[in-house]
Structures are given as C-alpha cells and as structure tokens.
Chains A and B, each alone.
Chain A
C-alpha cells in the first residue's frame, strides 16, 4: 500500500471573532504503510491542526482525509493520539489509564483476562511494569509520557499520532524516549505522524520530514527524504556527514526561507 493515509487539498478555516482565519491552505500528503512522518515548522504554522485533522478532532473546511481507503469523519480509536502533555486521567492508575483504551478497542471481542494481558504488555513495552499501579502524580514527566505512548500503542491503531510528545521533557529524558520510540516502532511497524519543532528529533526519527510554511494559509513547503539506514544510533549519527547535511537542509528551510516575521 503506497498510499495508506492521504491528505488531499485540505483547507482549514477558523471562524474567529476577528473574522475568517485561514490556517491551512491546500495541504497534500500521502503516507505509506509503516512510514514515519515528521511535520516540522515554526510555532503557529498549523502543524498541530494537521494532526488534529487526521485525528478527527477537527473537520476540514474543504478537501478530504483518507485512511486505509476510508474517509476520516470524526475521531476514532484507529488513530491513537499521544498528547503533548500526556493527558493521563489523574484519578486512574497507569494500568487503568491504559486499560480504559484497551477495553474500548478490544472489550467487545476479547475476554477480560486477554484485555489485562494486552495492558500489561503495553506497559512492559515502554518499560513501566514496575509502576503499573502508581497514579500519574506519583511518577515523573518522562514516565507519564511513556504511559501515554503505551496507551496509544495498546490500541493497535492504524496510525499513531504524536503531538510534540517530548516537548515538555528535559533533554536527557527526551533522548531516552526517542530511542525507545524508535525501538518500539521498529518492533510494531506502526505508521506514525509526529509534530515537532526539534530539528534533531525529526532527522533522527523520521523517514520523511514535511516542512510547513508559516501561517496564515500555511501549506507544505518541502518534503525531505531521510535516507539514513535503520536502526539509527544517535552517537554514530553525530559524526555522520549525511546526517549533518540533512540537518542543515532543514535549518536552511526554517531559518532562511521561512523565517518568522515577528519571532
């Protein structure tokens, strides 16, 4: 399947108090099955809006989004979202947070013991078996985001949507989680769409990087192919000239051609 997820001629217009605001103009993108796409751009360029459109949390003003041959209308568990600030429910334990999602997706077809197995497995995948019964306020920011990732993966979604998932974390934790995410996606072969403003993160993780122009009327500026072999190792990449070349391309786009006017 070469065109698993398609975004076709999508416009997004918000009706604000000050009148119509054209956030996105003619967005086109097709994503292959198992591909990791990073969307990068300056803040306010509407990259999160693209993600929310795929999630179904927003409806496009015109154009269409098609996933696995079906038009997206409204949110659904086949498109799991990892939210920027984890969005765990504070009154549920880590296990219960993941279980809520598992139960929703598989509850009708599978017995409870199997649902519990799935939940345990998802938490094990992110290395949190020991903290299953802790509540979100008892664990660190990085651990919370792991639970968020476990919750999303446990749903076995067609597409994993990540909205600046590591933006609120410190640099070391972020690096750790990026490596974990690479390993997990390698194992599960999931299709993923990630919004980020971190150039290194985009080059490290993505197969292709979608660079967005500044809003209003933001659109896809360029698409960069990241042809670095996998599995990728951040230490080896640090001395890889091709890695630096790709990085430079991204920076050139972001800082020269599409500098923010009032940054």
Chain B
C-alpha cells in the first residue's frame, strides 16, 4: 500500500525532471521539485551548459518536423515503388518540379502557361472573390451583431445557406454571369462570406459591457462608438473570420477552376490529368498546400498585430 501512495511532499517525483528536460532546462539534482521559473537558466551558469541548452532547444524544434517529412517521403517512395510506375516517386517529381520552376512565366497561348501564371491567376480570383465577400460580409456582420432584430431576421437564411457545398453555387453563377471567370469568383465570394459575417457578428455581441458603459456615460456619438470602441474591440474576431474565409476561398478555388477552365491551378491540375502527367498533379498539390500555408501565416501575423490584450 505504502509503496503505491504518492506523497505530495515528495520532491523527487521523476515527472519534474522529465518536464524540465523536455523544456530544455538544466536538471539540478538537488532541487528537482522547484518551480520552473526558478530553474530557468540564469547568467550565473557556466557558458557550456547554456550552449548545451540552446542546442537542445534547437534540436527539439527541428528534429521532429524533419523526421515527419522524412517518414512521409519514405512512405511515398514505397507506394510509388509498388504502383509499377503509375505513381511517380519523390525523385521523379522533384526533377520535374525543377524543370517546371526554371521557367515559371512562359506563355504559349491560353492552354499552356507557366506555373507562375497559374498561381497568380488563381490568387487573383481568390483575391477578387474574397475582397467582395469582405466588403459585403464585414459590414453585414457588424449590423447583425449590433441589432438583435437583424440577427434574428437573418439567422434562418444564414443557417440554411452556410452549409451548402460551394460548388453547388457554380451553376447559378454561370447562369447569371454567362461566363466562367466571374462564375468562379462568385463561388469564392459566396463560400468565403459566411465566416466573416459570423465572426464579426459574434465579435460585436461580445464587446465587453464595460466598454459600452463607458460609451454611454460619455454619451459618445455613434461614429465615435464605432471608431474608438466597436471596431478595435471586434478587430481580433474579424481577423479570425478573414483567416477562415481566405482558407475556404483557397480550398474552393481549385475545384471551381477544374469546372470552369481558363488559366489557374485548378484548371492546370485537370489539364495535366488529361495529359496523364501525374508529376505535375503532385507538384500542383504541393503548390496549393504551400500557398495556403503562406496565406495562413501572413494572416496570423496580421492578427497578432491587432491583438491588444
């Protein structure tokens, strides 16, 4: 019985040293149970241990991701090996990518353009569609958040339309605009508007009552309330909405372009499928992923800039 009981006063519980090791901190044998802040490296330590700690932290940050990527490539190679040349392996894809990116901006007519053009055209569609969605969605979100009547009025419409698959909107776009390019933008618009409306509205309804009381006690004008209190308070929520919207837009663009054609990553994927150029399809997948990751990171940085707490 006694051997199993864990005494709270026991300072040599091994978990403490494990956590300290994981956090890249020196493990002092004499003070295993001390709080982490006390065990943090201080300038008094010898230089060698400090370097050791830094190295350890560096490896902790770099080794696991590299290991993950290595494992991914290994599995990919193995599958490629067993697929009898149908799926290209990493080396073949890399060689093809080198060739592709050596001349990203060539232009041999509408159906054969460099990868750079394809990326830029896709980004342009996403930019326009998302831009319109922001222009409409953010003010609508503010109004829905500020007036509960509007909120109750629009709730059923938003609830009904939001879960609709983005591509279901494509025929409507083709019908209304009579052209593929604006139809793709329309799909981006309609599928990326919801996160912005909803997050902005939630942000407005969560503005602390204290801030609104300040506005009321000071009898501020509607414009001052908006510019000095509502807008800055809602900004973090709005940025979350923008981030989600861009994510959705980028997710949808490939599918939309596959159906509408023209120049763009989605169309390119479909074109290369028709050419049975599987390397290029795999490259396209990586490009879509990388661009999406970059967009997300840029917006995260922006969001950090606007966080006041």
A residues in contact (CB < 8 Å) with B: 55-57, 75-77, 79-81, 83, 85, 87, 89-92, 100-101, 104-105, 135, 137, 155
Q: Are B232 and A89 in contact (CB under 8 A)?
A: yes
Q: Which residues of A contact B216 (CB under 8 A)?
A: 56-57, 75
Q: Are A81 and B213 in contact (CB under 8 A)?
A: yes
Q: Which residue of B lies closest to A85 (CB)?
A: B210
Complex Cα distance A100/B211, Å?
A: 13
Complex interface bits, B179-212 against A, C-beta within 8 A gives 1, otherwise 0: 0000000000000000000000000000010110
Q: Which residue of B lies closest to A87 (CB)?
A: B210
Interface size on B, as a range, is 10 to 19
Q: Which residues of B contact A55 (CB under 8 A)?
A: 217
Q: Which residues of B contact A89 (CB under 8 A)?
A: 211, 214, 228-229, 232
Complex Cα distance A83/B210, Å?
A: 8
Q: Are B309 and A137 in contact (CB under 8 A)?
A: yes
Chain B interface mostly: helix
B3 within 8 A of A: no
Q: Which residues of A contact B291 (CB under 8 A)?
A: none
Complex Cα distance A76/B216, Å?
A: 7
Q: Can you list the 3 inter-chain pairs with the closest CB atoms, starting with the nearest?
A: A87-B210, A91-B232, A90-B308
Q: Pick the residue among B213, B219, B228, B309 that contacts A76 (CB under 8 A).
A: B219
Q: Which residues of A contact B219 (CB under 8 A)?
A: 75-77, 104
Q: A135-B308, A137-B308 are in contact. Are A77 and B228 (CB under 8 A)?
A: no
Q: Which residues of A contact B224 (CB under 8 A)?
A: 100, 104
Q: Are B217 and A91 in contact (CB under 8 A)?
A: no
Q: Which residue of B lies closest to A135 (CB)?
A: B308
Q: Which residue of B lies closest to A84 (CB)?
A: B210
Q: Are A57 and B217 in contact (CB under 8 A)?
A: yes
Q: Which residues of A contact B213 (CB under 8 A)?
A: 57, 81, 83, 87
Complex Cα distance A257/B214, Å?
A: 37
Complex Cα distance A137/B307, Å?
A: 11
B214–chain A nearest beta-carbon distance, Å: 5
Q: Are A92 and B228 in contact (CB under 8 A)?
A: yes
**What are 7 A-to-B residue pairs whose CB atoms are below 8 Å?**
A77-B219, A81-B217, A87-B214, A89-B211, A90-B309, A104-B219, A105-B218
B295 within 8 A of A: no
Kindly count the residue-residue contacts between A and B in the assembled complex, taking CB atoms under 8 Å apart. Answer: 52
Of the candidates A77, A104, A105, A135, the one having the most CB atoms from chain B within 10 angstroms of its own CB is: A104
Q: Which residue of B lies closest to A157 (CB)?
A: B217
Q: Which residue of B lies closest to A81 (CB)?
A: B217
Q: Which residue of A lies closest to B216 (CB)?
A: A75
B176 within 8 A of A: no
Residues of chain B from 97 to 129 with CB closer than 8 A to chain A in the complex = none
Q: Which residue of B lies closest to A79 (CB)?
A: B217
Q: Pick the residue among A83, A91, A92, A100 that contacts B218 (CB under 8 A).
A: A100
Q: A87-B213, A90-B308 are in contact. Are A77 and B218 (CB under 8 A)?
A: yes
Q: Which residues of B contact A92 (CB under 8 A)?
A: 228
Q: Which residues of B contact A83 (CB under 8 A)?
A: 210, 213-214
Complex Cα distance A85/B209, Å?
A: 11
Complex Cα distance A101/B218, Å?
A: 6
Complex interface bits, B223-253 against A, C-beta within 8 A gives 1, otherwise 0: 0100011001100000000000000000000
Q: Which residue of A lies closest to B221 (CB)?
A: A104
Complex Cα distance A32/B160, Å?
A: 60
Q: Are A77 and B217 in contact (CB under 8 A)?
A: yes
B204–chain A nearest beta-carbon distance, Å: 16
Q: Which residues of B contact A76 (CB under 8 A)?
A: 217, 219
A225–chain B nearest beta-carbon distance, Å: 30
Of the candidates A83, A105, A137, the one having the most CB atoms from chain B within 10 angstroms of its own CB is: A83
B155 within 8 A of A: no
Q: Which residues of A contact B217 (CB under 8 A)?
A: 55-57, 75-77, 79-81
Complex Cα distance A259/B232, Å?
A: 45
B220 within 8 A of A: yes
B238–chain A nearest beta-carbon distance, Å: 14
Q: Which residue of B lies closest to A148 (CB)?
A: B214
Q: Which residues of A contact B232 (CB under 8 A)?
A: 89, 91
Q: Which residues of B contact A105 (CB under 8 A)?
A: 218
Q: Are B308 and A87 in contact (CB under 8 A)?
A: no
Q: Which residues of A contact B308 (CB under 8 A)?
A: 90-91, 135, 137
Complex Cα distance A89/B224, Å?
A: 13
Complex Cα distance A138/B23, Å?
A: 27
A55–chain B nearest beta-carbon distance, Å: 6
Complex Cα distance A81/B217, Å?
A: 7
Q: Which residues of B contact A104 (CB under 8 A)?
A: 218-220, 224
Complex Cα distance A81/B210, Å?
A: 11
Q: Which residue of B lies closest to A83 (CB)?
A: B210
Q: Are A87 and B211 in contact (CB under 8 A)?
A: yes
B221–chain A nearest beta-carbon distance, Å: 9
